[in-house]
Amino acid sequence: DTHDVKVSKDGYMDMNNKKAVFTITVTSTGMNNNVVISDSMAGSALKYMGDAAFQGNSSTPVEVSSGDDGFVFTLPSMNHNETVRITYSAELDGSRLNAAEDHGVLTEAETNNTVTVKSDEDPTEEPASKNFPGSRYMNMTKGSAVDENGSTVTWTITLNKDRIGSAAGTTITDSINEDSRDITSYSGDGITITRIDDSGETSETVGWGNVGMTGSGDYDWSYTIPESDGNVTYVITYTTESDTSGELKARNIGNTVKNDAFDLTIPGGASVKPTGTELSIDKSVVTSNTQETTWKLSVTIPKGRDYDSVEITDDYPKNSRWDNGAELKYLDELVEGSVSVEGITDGYPSIEYEDGRLVITFYKDQECTIPGLAASDEDRNITVTLTTAIDQNWLNDATDGKIDKEHWNNAAVKVDGVENKDSEKVMPVKATVTKKCTAQS
């Protein structure tokens, strides 16, 4: 007869509740008596929580010993093919973690956990382990909120939210990204640090001069957490101000925070708005049927500045598909004479008709030799209308399910290298005729 006991171990790390949850599975082949299950938490950061729960055993388990570092249970007997599962938890003790050495990531030495099983009939101990190397317990996040004025951003850094370990002695470094420094700088009196621990929370403002900022040309600051701090959550807020007077549309700015001790680099971003009107384009459908579509482009160009280049483009609906190795192309062509440009009284549009595209370039002079538009006292609201003819082959093939029914029209306005886009679609449907025969009596 074969008498054997096998063991396996699984588990997961529950960072929110600062514990590891394990499941031990013991399987008996043949009859086994005095089955001894020994669990050893050699990991320096784990403490057994004394909550072992048994499932599926025909005899009552006997606790031999139990402590922070594990437990020993004996099952008086296990029948052939019987399976026992033990579920239990281990506290992740932050006081036993060394964040300066493990960089905020659990190691095998900190989470090592092994179970062995043996019986009278199978006295050789069989081990099974479950460790959590690579699980990050020290985290950092960054958020942003743009003020109503569109140019002031409040940034929030959160370090050690779960308070599993300590960030004491480490340095937080924050920088405005290089591609944002032409319009963005730190503002306000400094950084506000809120410390949260088991006893509550406290806040203080640290002036810019105390975090390495000495002048308006500084684009980074650093703060070193006191060595005396324990397991604390840090919420740091501060503001930046962006000069958007020269911007034509919303612009993304970047701000990055680092904590090198924990190998953490967290990027942040926000979208700041221009002062005054934003360069914009809106694409819409005036009318549409199975023969043609009339489109409208509504473009707003901000006042108060001289522009060296202004261009509006419209790409007519097009599509393609492959049939027996050949590419079939579809295009809704421009209806001749359908283009109109309205709302411009102090500039001169030049219209070019390219393959599948309309290009309108604006000039300051009637001879169309000086591109752009002169500064104006009011925003320019330009309206472009055009009509495209529905490609009947496209319509027929779409009706037969061979190609998409959507006819997309894409438009853009580009001013001094700054571009905004918009799109609109129609879905022409070919009329179908159905016949119904009614018997006459």
Tell me: the pLDDT tens digits for 134-145?
A: 999 999 999 999
- Which helix (H) or strand (E) is 13 found in, with range? strand 4-14
Nearest to 294 by CA among 387, 384, 383: 387
DSSP state of 273: P
pLDDT for res 225? 96
Radius of gyration for the chain, computed over Cα atoms and rounded to the nearest angstrom: 35
Residue ranges matching CATH 2.60.40.740 in the chain: 4-129, 140-272, 280-426
pLDDT for res 436? 62
> Which residues, including other chains, have CB under 8 Å from residue 7's CB and lie 6 or more apart?
24, 25, 26, 27, 37, 115, 116, 117, 126, 127, 128
pLDDT for res 302? 96
Give the architecture-level CATH label for domain 140-272: Sandwich (2.60)
DSSP secondary structure string, 80-94?
TT-EEEEEEEEEE-G
Find tokens 């549309």 and name the residue: 249
pLDDT for res 33? 95
pLDDT at 270 over 90: yes
pLDDT for res 432? 67
How many residues belong to the chain?
441
Give the architecture-level CATH label for domain 280-426: Sandwich (2.60)
What is the spatial distance between Cα 230 and Cα 291, in angstroms, rounded to a whole number? 74
What is the spatial distance between Cα 175 and Cα 177, in angstroms, rounded to a whole number? 6
Please state the pTM of the whole predicted model: 0.80
pLDDT for res 259? 96
Cα end-to-end distance, the chain, whole Å: 89
Nearest to 170 by CA among 222, 224, 214, 132: 224
pLDDT digits (tens, 9 = 90+) for 5-42: 999 999 999 998 999 999 999 999 999 999 999 999 98
pLDDT digits (tens, 9 = 90+) for 352-367: 999 999 999 999 999 9
pLDDT at 64 over 90: no
pLDDT at 99 over 90: no
pLDDT at 406 over 70: yes
pLDDT at 437 over 80: no
Contact present, 203 and 193 (Cβ < 8 Å): yes
Give the architecture-level CATH label for domain 4-129: Sandwich (2.60)
pLDDT for res 392? 97
What is the spatial distance between Cα 34 and Cα 30, in angstroms, rounded to a whole number? 13
> What is the rounded average pLDDT of the residues 241-261?
96
